[in-house]
Structure 1
């Protein structure tokens, strides 16, 4: 098939974007969002809407770069063509050494949380982290030695994650029973939080994360100039509807106080309320498979990113890293690098959670916040190239809102972690700059 063939219509483009955007974050970030808003359901809905706003205008802005480029590779390719090769290397280093591994680690840890719930294990941070380690090693092994099995598991998990989201939303519409009684002492008190509700935005950004991948299908969509802006608007709005239905369904069934008291365990309790003693186990099984599907998808990216960077000469020892094993069709050196980086981030995550450095947040949210900082340079490029200045301006505004919310969530440690991400980005930039000079 010709690589330039346009074989996706508007409907297919929308469904693909929805599939890309709906992740596992909503299952374990909904209570965080409610907590940061002081238990205010209306403010929580507003935060979800702001998140969708950032995604829509970010998507449409980047799609304008995709329409101007013949290169594949998503955001990395946009940096390379429209900014510079050193900037692309900096972004790639950030993805290899911070973004992919930190998110993979956190989602694996969440899978550990749900595993302890499912099997009635003592939910200590140490056990959850140990289970996360097991999942990481399993999926690295699975995806390195069997591309087909990794792909099949991804398809199954995509279906699984939609069942509880849509099911809870539909049940919530018709739910009339009174909410359960909660204890007087809550983890997060219900109060007026002022502008502090913006601290919930990193958690929302996590729930919508992955949206930049949606622009990569632009080249294959018929009449992309017309259809992609429509698809990139309707797709996130449909995801917003699904997320709000799930969130409001939970609120209708158990109430905000109950969610704040039981946190990640809420969905298990809802399962028991709806379907009896085995109901919690049933719903947790669906969610665990969905979360593990996200781990699997992230590991797919983690394994391939160093290989893609090495082919461009953007990493030290690129000649070695780009050598591919004929049986696995992957680079052994890239796999080793990816595993070592991920395990390092697992240790960092454990320490931040153990000592409460991030005030209820986690390292993945910081990586996502920093990614929004990097997108601003691409939005500025679109602003210069495009006659329509409104969309890139709104994209920039959305990024600034997310970044501001991240800093508000923890003014002490978030800036330090953002600085660490900046250093990683600069190292990649400087390495490529030096490599160009040697050439």
Structure 2
């Protein structure tokens, strides 16, 4: 009887537009905007070039979001990219995209956020560094436990953390725009030019700060009216983050000279906070960054297990009956969440999680490119189907998205070909797992 009841349990479709929008914004805005100002400026060579790089990265991300939004409107199901790849290219491609995300990329992203959060907490409270790993584990598990309950709790937490993280961001923008005394445009110094990696490298740095928007698609089965709300959340969320990133960058350039930003490196924004708000400013900003990371981590812990659940539901993973279990009261995939947390915890203890997440960037963008061809394939396959959302300026929009992803792929090959090979190995390992499970099911 209990088995039958568990099989009838479905995910709770309770998330509205604000919850989905908060997850998009909260998952994108982690720590990138706070620490990458100097790196983007150094690569671009001038403040004007850096602003254009942030704008270009945002436009590429927006075209990607618009492209995926059309697919999401037609396939508003739990699993996101895994579902899109399977429906468009076949089961093995869906499996491999999901496999890479649930085994390496997702847990590594969660673990790296936990590790970075631990360092910030240790610095903020002057805790001995011997506590780095335990605090990272406690942080990841605590946020994970929240997501074992109804998805409303995780969504509410996403809304709260998104609002909280926007308060220090708004303060930086306001003080920079209205009290900064520098000319934000045209600043260029020799030291910046000597260390510049070029405008293209600057765009690459911004693209990583914009990443994470697609994860809300994993919750397609839990969003109300997903064929309309999911595209709205993706597009509005990316647009909002683009505006925020541009205003923060402009505010920083209004407050500090290019030479000072280059000299301070990742400490540029903390220095600006101390300068604008006094001694307490740095502490307030640190709290904002801590909340920002916690919110970003919550979004990833809420969304990545949904991929595992979707794959288990489709009987594509070992122990699929166990992993596809939904708690009858909370209607959440508790064992998928626990498994994701377990893998992330192992990475925190034994591996360099940040490096593991970097290794997977190449394969993630390979699947992105394939997905960006999806709307064209679907339009040819089903020319008369009704779409709740259509890509504006088609086919220019997906072409820009594809070009941006190819740029990331080529850059990764040129800068870290060994990492590219390792990322291929992560994917290839999934092939025998897929065929074993296929044979087992048959």
Normalised TM-score (structure 2): 0.77
Alpha-carbon contact 1:271-1:280 (below 8 Å) kept: yes
The answer to whether the aligner puts 1:251 opposite 2:253 as a matched pair is: yes
- Counterpart CA distance in 2 for 1:244 and 1:86 is 40
Counterpart of 1:422 (choices 396, 421, 424) is 424
Report how far residue 213 of structure 1 moved.
Answer: 4.1
- Counterpart CA distance in 2 for 1:22 and 1:406 is 21
Change (3 A) 1:385 1:192: farther
Name the residue aligned to 2:139: 135
Counterpart of 1:63 (choices 47, 63, 69) is 69
Change (3 A) 1:237 1:326: closer
Counterpart of 2:88 (choices 82, 85, 88) is 82
Report how far residue 296 of structure 1 moved.
Answer: 1.8
Counterpart of 2:316 (choices 292, 314, 317) is 314
Report how far residue 21 of structure 1 moved.
Answer: 6.4
Alpha-carbon contact 1:30-1:247 (below 8 Å) kept: no
The answer to whether the aligner puts 1:364 opposite 2:357 as a matched pair is: yes
Report how far residue 434 of structure 1 moved.
Answer: 4.2
The answer to whether the aligner puts 1:373 opposite 2:366 as a matched pair is: yes
- Counterpart CA distance in 1 for 2:79 and 2:304 is 14
Change (3 A) 1:38 1:212: closer
Report how far residue 91 of structure 1 moved.
Answer: 0.9
For 1:3-82, what aligned pairs fall within 5 Å after superposition? Answer: 19=25, 22-31=28-37, 33-34=39-40, 37=43, 40-69=46-75, 71-82=77-88
For 1:14-413, what aligned pairs fall within 5 Å after superposition? Answer: 19=25, 22-31=28-37, 33-34=39-40, 37=43, 40-69=46-75, 71-121=77-127, 128-144=132-148, 149-177=153-181, 189-192=191-194, 196-213=198-215, 216=220, 220=226, 236-326=238-328, 329-330=331-332, 333-347=335-349, 350=352, 362-386=355-379, 388-408=394-414, 411=415
- RMSD of equivalent CA atoms: 3.8
- Counterpart CA distance in 2 for 1:121 and 1:252 is 35
Change (3 A) 1:429 1:16: same
1:302-335: CA deviations, max 9, x gaps?
Answer: 4443333211112112123223455665556434
Change (3 A) 1:364 1:90: same
Change (3 A) 1:312 1:296: same
Change (3 A) 1:109 1:74: same
- Counterpart CA distance in 2 for 1:349 and 1:257 is 36
1:1-57: CA deviations, max 9, x gaps?
Answer: xx9x9x999xx8996696366512334442363365166323322321222122122
Report how far residue 131 of structure 1 moved.
Answer: 3.1
- Counterpart CA distance in 2 for 1:266 and 1:364 is 25
Change (3 A) 1:313 1:419: farther
Change (3 A) 1:138 1:351: closer
Alpha-carbon contact 2:313-2:320 (below 8 Å) kept: yes
Alpha-carbon contact 2:19-2:155 (below 8 Å) kept: no
For structure 2, list consecutive stretches of 5 or more residues without a partner in the other structure: 1-10, 184-189, 381-393
Alpha-carbon contact 1:379-1:392 (below 8 Å) kept: yes
- Counterpart CA distance in 1 for 2:156 and 2:23 is 19
SS at match of 2:423: helix
SS at match of 2:315: coil
- Counterpart CA distance in 1 for 2:66 and 2:95 is 24
Q: Which segment drifts farther, 190-199 or 55-64? A: 190-199
Alpha-carbon contact 1:143-1:299 (below 8 Å) kept: yes
- Counterpart CA distance in 2 for 1:323 and 1:251 is 51
Name the residue aligned to 1:356: none
Change (3 A) 1:366 1:172: farther
- Counterpart CA distance in 2 for 1:244 and 1:231 is 20
Name the residue aligned to 2:383: none
1:282-303: CA deviations, max 9, x gaps?
Answer: 2221221121111122122344
Change (3 A) 1:329 1:156: same
